[in-house]
Amino acid sequence: MIVPCIDLMGGKVVQLVQGREKELEGDDPLEMLRRFAAFPQIQVIDLDAAMGTGSNDELVELVARRATCRVGGGVRSAERARKLIDEGAYRVIVGTAAFDRPVLEEITAAIGPERVVIALDSKHGQIVIKGWRESVPLTAEQVIQDLEPFCSGFLCTYVDKEGMLQGTDLDWFRRLRAATQHELTAAGGITTIAEIEELQRLSIHAALGMAIYKGHLNLEDLALLSASGV
């Protein structure tokens, strides 16, 4: 499955490089939904909420009520997770809170593990949290099995190449695939059809942002590939 991404910041659809520098602004969220209508799921990230600088709650709800969305960004309490589900989110992405066990347990209890996707974002080999501003002295491979009971899948972002259109680290995703039988979604630097096809062979979904927004990948081609993939 191919999952197009809608990242929100300051009330706009944006794409960042490595979660820091804004590279471009997209069309309004409803126009992006129209463009992504052929895909079974959309990934929506509230970057302001992830960074603790605000929120885009109204836009998140607008999108989540119109499409099947996995929603993340600032989900650090059971109350926030429940609110997103009530507003239409299909699944909730939990990043920082996944490394606070009592909070993670509360989130899972509130919405069920089947509704939780845990984000394992890696930079320089270590997990990064709080909008990729802080690192945890652990690798994704070290923690992934321990976190399986609390979720139905993992969103794994290779932050080193995020938004750079330079390709991703397929070896890292191969190691993650070997470490868990849970659903995996790859993100971060995926730029070519060949990379997506290799991820499909590994039974890993692909979350795509910059390569779509900059026209490196054609949406019609991706829709056909997604329909034939995992």
Please list the alpha-helical segments (H only) found in 52-118. Answer: 57-64, 78-86, 101-111
Contact 17, 44 (CB under 8 A): no
Q: 7 catalytic, yes or no?
A: yes
d(CA 50, CA 131): 5
End-to-end CA distance of the chain: 5
- CA neighbours within 13 Å on the CB side: how many for 94? 35
Task: Spot the catalytic one: 27, 57, 100, 121.
Answer: 121
Beta pairing class for 12-17 and 42-46 = unpaired
State how far the alpha carbon of 199 is from the alpha carbons of 19, 58, 140, 165, 213, in Å: 23, 34, 17, 17, 20
Sheet strands (E) in 160-209: 183-187, 204-208
Question: Would you name the residues annotated as active-site residues?
Answer: 7, 121
